[in-house]
Amino acid sequence: MFTSKVRLIKRTGKNTIGRYEFLKLLATEFKTTKSKEAKEQVLANLANFAYDPINYGYIRQLQIIDLFLYALSEDNVKLVRFASGGICNLCVDPINKLYILRNQGIQLLTSLLSSQDEDVLLSVITSLIFLITPEYKDQINSDTIDRISELSSDLQHNRACDITNSRNGMKNIKTANEVSVFKTITGDDILNFANLTGDYNPVHTGSANNLVHGALLNGLVSGVIGTKLPGPGTILVQQNITYPKPCYAGDKIEIKVQIVSVRKIIKCVYTCIANGEKIVLKGDAKLIKNS
């Protein structure tokens, strides 16, 4: 993560057209949308972009740090989680760090030390470790330092338990285990994917009946595999995919994943079924579970 601008450009290429525009689109949508779910999705995307140093300049230009700082005071725990994660990703950079410090970052973060959300606490504590400097130590009292120390110990214990449970969970994965998740693909989903990938093929974005990107469907499968079955810690090592029928904006998709073999390598098969009748994606994969 820590690297020079020259190496970053070499890694990503000089042509970064689309990043600024896409971040601007996300920032604008966050400010204007009335949808709770849209706000959550947009802020989660912005927090992910905040992980890559190549985006820092764009994030500062678009005042996205202000969006994160503002969202720290929201009542919606998901927005707070994504905002604190975004701040955590950004505060390792000296310019970002100074901006956060000068805009009440420490006060906003310390107010979240009573949060019941473990992900929020992890982001807050990590951020404060980077942000607390001799010049700003007067903003932290001894009680707050004790609270951070106490929470850090508790979180380390909880994470150790999570690892143990994850290893035990591998034993619970059995052949014929199956899960289904339903998702209606919207025109906005297709446009956001096109903005992210740069794939503006007119069949996806320029017709009245836009075709869903195959890679977008595969991404939905990946989401089910990574969060549902086999679940967190799953790593893909091999995959085969076919697209028997087209999928269009507005289609309701059932993403179905089934385990067919469990050894050192887990084998699964999966399908995406549109509107309960046509298979728009099918395939199989070999996976390992990271313990």
For the stretch 192-211, pLDDT in tens is: 888 888 888 989 988 778 99
Query: Mind listing the pLDDT tens digit for each residue in 99-152?
Result: 999 999 999 998 988 888 888 888 888 888 788 777 766 666 666 666 666 666
Residue range 177-289 in CATH 3.10.129.10: yes
Percent of the chain clearing pLDDT 90 (strictly above): 44
Provide the CATH number for the domain formed by 5-159 in this structure: 1.25.10.10
Indicate if the pLDDT at residue 158 is higher than 60: no
Mean pLDDT rounded to a whole number for the chain: 82
pLDDT of res. 148: 66
pTM: 0.51
pLDDT of res. 145: 65
pLDDT of res. 149: 65
Structural domain boundaries of the chain? 5-159, 177-289
Indicate if the pLDDT at residue 8 is higher than 70: no
Indicate if the pLDDT at residue 64 is higher than 70: yes
Query: Mind listing the pLDDT tens digit for each residue in 247-288?
Result: 999 999 999 999 988 887 889 999 999 999 999 999 999 988
pLDDT of res. 176: 56
Indicate if the pLDDT at residue 38 is higher than 60: yes
Whether residue 53 is preceded by a cis peptide bond, meaning omega within 30 degrees of 0, is: no
pLDDT of res. 96: 94
pLDDT of res. 163: 41
Query: Mind listing the pLDDT tens digit for each residue in 224-246?
Result: 888 888 888 788 888 999 999 99
Indicate if the pLDDT at residue 160 is higher than 50: no
pLDDT of res. 143: 66
Percent of the chain clearing pLDDT 70 (strictly above): 79
pLDDT of res. 59: 96
Average pLDDT over residues 74-78: 94
